[in-house]
Amino acid sequence: MTEEELKTLIADCPHLYHMAMRQSWPSIKKHGLLPTDTLLNLWEVSGQLRTELTTRRRPKSVPISHVMHGEAVIRDQIPMHDHHLSKCLRDGLTPADWHKRLNERVFFWLTEQRLERLLCAGAYRRDEHVVLKVDTRSLITAHRDRIELSPMNSGCTMPFPHPRGADTFLPIDAYPYAAWRAKRRASDVVVELTVIGGVPDIKAYVTEVSIRTCGKTLERLL
């Protein structure tokens, strides 16, 4: 992606969206927006439980606790199945490898339509979620060296397990913007913006925090 293409992407998608557990905003304010791997470090989770949480599919959300940090929840991975991953992974990657890649980063949608699709998905449509709305330009400016982009929903294998591999996540400079733009509308050129290691200073880029469910905003927190 060239600098001009990046400017176009930011103009087309000026805000990013992250969906989290209903009760997670106080922890995010305190610790930042952290990926599973970093959260487990902070909560001092080790041994077999850590291995299971980082290398296998989570069919349900898993609560964790810490004497100082209190309670946190590791989110489920309902839309993804390991037997589907085994069929669609490329470049010698295993399902465990893929889970490790996902668990080392945090994810943002580039459009509200993508967010709404997740809010209304069967597994989540009855629940309330906290949604962070983030300024795209300022986040990229601050964390560009740890950002990787994806042209797909990397944590979903339903209804079709689309191929994915070593080049699914690419740094901004390496992302083939023009190739995808030739095939897709502007809002779908990039599907996910991910940040390896998370965003400890996420409060600096958040423009809105709300409690939402499918098709509804229930409360504004910020």
Q: What is the pLDDT of residues 90-113, one digit of tens each?
A: 999 999 999 999 999 999 999 999
The domain limits of the chain are 3-220
Mean pLDDT of the chain: 96
DSSP string for the chain: --HHHHHHHHHH--EEEEEEETT-HHHHHHH-B--HHHHHHHTT--HHHHHHHHHS--SS-EEEEETTTEEEEEPP-TT--HHHHHHHB-TT--HHHHHHHHHTEEEEESSHHHHHHHHTSTTTTTS-EEEEEEEHHHHHHHHGGGEEEESS-TT--SS----B-TTSSEEGGG--HHHHHTTS-GGGS--EEEEET-BTTGGGTEEEEEEEETTEEEEE--
pLDDT at 155: 93
- Percent of all residues in the chain with a pLDDT value above 90, rounded to a whole number: 97
Q: Other CB atoms closer than 10 Å to residue 83's CB: what's the count?
A: 10
Task: Determine contact, residues 136/149, Cβ cutoff 8 Å.
Answer: no
Q: What is the pLDDT of residues 11-29, one digit of tens each?
A: 999 999 999 999 999 999 9
pLDDT at 160: 87
pLDDT at 123: 86
Q: Which CATH number is 3-220 given? A: 3.90.210
Instruction: Look at residues 144, 105, 123 and name the one whose alpha carbon lies nearest to residue 1.
Output: 144
Q: What is the pLDDT of residues 177-221, one digit of tens each?
A: 999 999 999 999 999 999 999 999 999 999 999 999 999 999 999
pLDDT band at 73 (very low <50, low <70, confident <90, very high): very high
Q: How far, in Å, CA of 185 to CA of 3, rounded?
A: 19
Q: How far, in Å, CA of 182 to CA of 186, rounded?
A: 9
Q: What is the pLDDT of residues 127-143, one digit of tens each?
A: 999 999 999 999 999 99
Please tell me the total number of residues recorded for the chain in this structure: 222
For residue 142 the two structure tokens come to 């601050």
Maximum alpha-carbon separation in the chain: 52
